[in-house]
Amino acid sequence: MKIWIVISEILTTIFSFAAAYYWYKSSKVEYPKALVGSSMYGGLSVINTNPILLSINESGRLNKIAAGLSTVAAFFGGLTALLQSV
C-alpha cells in the first residue's frame, strides 16, 4: 500500500507543477500596446481588435489547460489522503 501512496504523492507534485507552469505562461501572454485603426468619413474610426482577441483566446486556452492539470493534481492529493487513512 505504501508504494501507491508514494506514487500518488509524486503524481500530485508533477501535476501541481505542470498547472503552475501553464498559469505562469498564461500570465505572460503579450497584449498589444496599441490597436491599429483607420478614420472614416464623419470622424468614425474602425479599430482592428483581432490582436487583442487572439491574446485573450491564448490566455484562456492556457488557463483551461492549467485548470485541468490542477483538477488532476487535486484528485491525486485526495487519493493520497484516502490511501493514508486505510
Is residue 53 one of the residues assigned to a domain? yes
Is residue 41 one of the residues assigned to a domain? no
pLDDT tens for residues 44-64? 777 788 889 999 999 999 999
pLDDT for the residue numbered 42: 66
Contact 26, 59 (CB under 8 A): yes
* Number of domains making up the chain: 1
* CA contacts within 13 A on the Cβ side of 8: 16
Is residue 40 one of the residues assigned to a domain? no
Is residue 73 one of the residues assigned to a domain? yes
Phi and psi at residue 49, in whole multiples of 5°?
Answer: -95, 5
Is residue 17 one of the residues assigned to a domain? yes
pLDDT for the residue numbered 74: 98
Low-confidence ranges of the chain (pLDDT < 70): 41-42
Does the model's pTM come out above 0.85? Answer: no
- Residue 59, domain extent: 2-31+47-85
Is residue 42 one of the residues assigned to a domain? no
